Amino acid sequence: MPFVTEQLQPWAIAVPLAELDGPYGQKISEIITDWHKTGFLIEANAANGIAASPFLEEQHEKLR
């Protein structure tokens, strides 16, 4: 049985402000969006015995 997330902690991947709209910032955004869209983060959690958080489920449904 997967562990349930008890205390949702926000997280982020930071890029320098100068790179935010540049190629690096755009690529990081594309990668993270793809992780949510494909369910990669939900699958990675499941593989490690962690239930998907409501945030991950919401983002996955939103970006499908």
**pLDDT band (50, 70, 90) for residue 9:** confident
**Per-residue pLDDT at 52 exceeds 70:** yes
- Does 45 fall in a domain? yes
- Does 1 fall in a domain? no
- Does 10 fall in a domain? no
Q: Counting Cβ atoms within 10 Å, is residue 59 exposed (0-12), middle (13-18) or buried (19+)?
A: buried
- Does 31 fall in a domain? yes
- Does 2 fall in a domain? no
Residue range of the domain that includes 38: 19-63
Q: Count how many domains the chain has.
A: 1
Output the pLDDT for position 54: 87
- Does 52 fall in a domain? yes
pTM of the model: 0.80
